[in-house]
Amino acid sequence: MGSRPLFTRHSFYYGLALVVFLLDQATKWAIASRLPLYAERPVIDDFFSITHFRNAGAAFGILQNQRAFFLIVTVVVATGVIWYLDKAVRRGRRMLAAALAMLLGGAVGNFVDRALYGEVVDFLQFRFRFEWFGTPVDYTYPVFNLADSAIVVGVGLILLDSLLDRRRETPGGRASPNGEGSAV
């Protein structure tokens, strides 16, 4: 029985997940320890600000104070992502594996916040001001964090990988009539 090398193909992707997690936690700690709750620091005029906000819900503040629900769902999702990540790595699906690693790092980052504090530290805020056919528009996007960003980028890469995979399924970039392909 041979031993596995210390650095495996999986290590890179778990390392990526760890980097996402550590950056997320470091930025949340920096905001929580240096900026009072609800304080706002402009970075790019009125367009981008660092705003200390706490969210006890999910994206866009939905499902507030459902801590147990989020913790259970995150454990289930993270388990599925780890299983799928292993499968993607074994099949050489690098983009999919990187996407899943980002998703995993972000999910674990927000999980730790919910588990320890019952809420997530958010701090990235964007405000869009422009005119639309002569009507002024002033929209502030909900405040979010690096974990949320990693999750969104991960999901985007999963969708891109899926689209590219469909094009690779058959010659000419068309899906086969019976729907078979190289899906993970």
Residues serving a catalytic function are 122, 148
**What does the DSSP assignment read for 93-121?**
-HHHHHHHHHHHHHHHHHHHHHHHHSSEE
The strand pair at 40-44 and 48-55 is best described as antiparallel
- Written as six digits, the tokens of 100 are 């899943």
CA–CA separation, 132 and 4 (whole Å): 59
